[in-house]
Amino acid sequence: MDTASSKYRIHKCFKCPGDTEYHCVSCPCDLCPQCKENHVKDLQTIDHDVVSHRDKINYIPTQEICVRHPSHVYIKYCEPCGLPVCFHCRKHKTHKQLDVRTVYKTKQQQHRGTIHTIRSEALFYRPVLLPRMKTDFKTCHTEFSLYQSEMLTKAQTLKNLINKLRKDFMKNVFCDFDFKHRCLKQMIEMSRHIVSLQEYELRYVQPEFTFSALQFLSSIKTALPQIHLTLHTSQLSMTESLNKEDVMESLSAIQITERGNRRVGNQCLLKLTSGAEFHQSLTVTGVDRCYHISCVTSDRVWVSDRDNLMLTDTTGVPLHRVEDSCSDLYGLHTVNSESELIYIDRKRNINKLSKDMKTTTTFIERTDSTWEPRCVYWSLSTGDLLVGMDNYDTWTGKVTRYNQSGQLTQTIQNHITGRGLYREPNYITENNNGDVVVSDSFSAVVVTERGGRHRFSYTGPPSGSVLRPRGICTDALSHILVCDDRTKTVQMIDMDGQFLSHLLIRPSGIFSPQSLSYDVNTHRLSVGSEHNNTVVIYRYITRQDALTDLNPATADVMGVTE
């Protein structure tokens, strides 16, 4: 046991009498291994920064001895070689070297996200995946023995076919001798025939004085010799005995098509709580309204009003302002998986701002003056960018899809009848099944399937007033959430357009909900106000009970006793 952990053994867990090994920087509190597990899994504390005590006191394990120079310890890290080096490691003298502690800290920071995912997601899914894998293992065993015997049968059939083919081939080879023989016979026959023809010709050209006319006439009465030569070829008869389709069939009939990563559907991991629960509230500096929200991480969020587009942290402190964002638009920004901001600028080009906010590049340049982009959404599942546009002259709207290199791949514009689907798309998003979901200020929430076919338009709850849709988002359970300006509510509908509930009604601090953003990592919902700079974060989705109750120890026992 090293000194660091024994030093901290006196600390007790914040939640139970257990010994502490971890520290939550966000709370802050000390945690034992078991309580740490629950802390990083609980959706309320899922984004907390939990470190081991060793990290907390910045303890770096014993100085390690160089394998090449045992009297020296590692002090530097060779960047090009990716190796720790000591003072005497001359080979790396000319390479770029960094302090080993700095590199350790940087690398640790870089892997924080991965560690977080492993802690809160991968380990959490294990109790669900493990029993499924066991079942699959059993199924595979039975199914594969079936396949195996089938494959053996097929192998035998194939072998028989090959044997048959070989026999045919041999037969044809021998037939070749016969062929030669027959040709020889014909050659002899032919030369005899030529001789007789020559005789015939000779008689015809015989000078008159040596040949009487009578003799000539009588000789030509004899019929001209005739010959009938049959054409004989040696053609291999393989096609008859070996059918291509048969071979194909016997080789390809066994197919195992199911591939890909093992996944757990959110339906069996998450569920709705009885109502939306307040989690946190923030007042964003630099905007006076919250027209649109795009989450980067659980503690970084882009918020825009009529003229400003600001990056803020969870305390509301402004971190960056985009100078050239387009005014008077709603859903004008989105964030991709690289944490880059994608937004519409004043010239109606679609730009990309790098994660470090130092580089802005034009991702899609506006080339068509009749269509103006109004809203954007970056799809996590496809990596595509969806853009809602409108045409001011014709008062129609459309949705365009661009791939990762910015090429236009799809346009969604009309019903099958030719009637337009949209008028003024204000916000756009995507559901987990690939549906394109548009909040259109005139014709409600318009949902089309991935291919562009209209699925439904949501115009409000069955016994309610007609919707005036604003901000929109979808969640991990494929619900569609939409702000209604008329009733000042956030309505939840299912993926097929059925009204489920009013998630929020004139929520305190916001009153008039305008914008929504769902964080796929924490499953929290950010709601922005139409009239002020308040964003309130709610929780309305929680882990399934059966899973939160399972700690890794009991999960393993369950696996064994199965």
Residues lying near Zn ion in the complex (CB under 5 A): 13, 15-16, 18, 24, 26-27, 32, 35, 45, 48, 66, 68-69, 78, 81, 86, 88-89, 92, 95
Q: Please say which residue, 45 or 379, places its beta carbon nearer to Zn ion.
A: 45
φ, ψ at 390 (rounded to 5°) = -140, 155
Report in angstroms the alpha-carbon separations of 540 from 44, 268, 499, 543.
11, 16, 16, 10
Rg (CA), the chain: 40
Task: Say how many Å lie between the first and final Cα of the chain, rounded.
Answer: 37
For Zn ion, which is the closer residue by CB, 277 or 323?
Answer: 277
**Minimal distance, residue 63 CB to Zn ion, in Å:** 13
State how far the Cα of 232 lies from the Cα of 175, in Å rounded to an integer.
Answer: 11
Structure tokens at 459: 């115009």
How far does Cα 557 stand from its chain's mean position? Answer: 34
Q: Nearest distance from residue 25's CB to Zn ion, in Å?
A: 8
Tokens matching residue 167: 């026999």
List the structure tokens of 417. Answer: 């009848």
Neighbours of 522 (CB within 10 A): 21
Q: List the one residue out of 495, 487, 491 whose CA is nearest residue 430.
A: 495
| 60 vs 65, beta carbon nearer Zn ion | 65
Q: What angle do CA 294, 295, 301 make, to 5 degrees?
A: 90
Q: Which is nearer to Zn ion, 88 or 306 (CB)?
A: 88
**Least Å from the CB of residue 65 to Zn ion:** 9
The least CB distance from residue 152 to Zn ion, in Å, is: 55
Please say which residue, 12 or 306, places its beta carbon nearer to Zn ion. Answer: 12
Distance CA 45, CA 33 (A): 15
Q: Tell me whether residue 29 or residue 482 sits nearer to Zn ion (CB atom).
A: 29
Tokens of 353: 């701002």
Comparing CB distances to Zn ion, the nearer of 203 and 279 is 279
- Of 48 and 53, nearer to Zn ion (C-beta) is 48
**Least gap, CB of 78 to Zn ion (angstroms):** 3
Least separation in angstroms between residue 80's CB and Zn ion is: 5
Report the residue number, 24 or 310, with the smaller CB distance to Zn ion: 24
Q: Which of 133, 240, 43, 238 is nearest to 555 (CA)?
A: 133
Q: How far is the CB of 60 from Zn ion (least distance, A)?
A: 18
Q: Least distance (Å) from Zn ion to the CB of residue 31?
A: 6
Given a contact cutoff of 8 angstroms between Cβ atoms, the answer to whether 333 and 360 are in contact is no
CB atoms closer than 10 angstroms to residue 151: 14
Residue 34 CB, nearest approach to Zn ion (Å): 6
Closest distance to Zn ion from the beta carbon of 69 (Å): 4
Nearer to Zn ion, 92 or 374 (CB): 92
**Is residue 470 within 8 Å of residue 330, measured between CB atoms?**
yes
Give the residue with the Cβ less far from Zn ion, 13 or 386.
Answer: 13
Distances (CA, A) of 541 to 489, 523, 538: 18, 6, 9
The DSSP secondary-structure symbol of 330 reads: S
Give residues with Cβ within 8 angstroms of 63, minimum separation 6: 73, 74
Report whether 499 contacts 508 (CB < 8 A): no
CA 97 to chain CA centroid, nearest Å: 38
Q: What's the closest the beta carbon of residue 313 comes to Zn ion, in angstroms?
A: 17
Show the tokens assigned to 391. Answer: 């045409």
Neighbours of 80 (CB within 10 A): 10
Helical segments of 57-111, H only: 100-110
3-class SS of residue 219: helix
User: 473, 380 in Cβ contact below 8 A?
Assistant: no
- Least distance in angstroms from the C-beta of 8 to Zn ion: 14
Minimum distance from residue 77 beta carbon to Zn ion (Å): 9
Phi–psi pair at 241, nearest 5 degrees: -85, -25
Nearer to Zn ion, 103 or 500 (CB): 103
Residue 24 or 284: which CB sits closer to Zn ion?
Answer: 24
3 state SS of 379:
coil
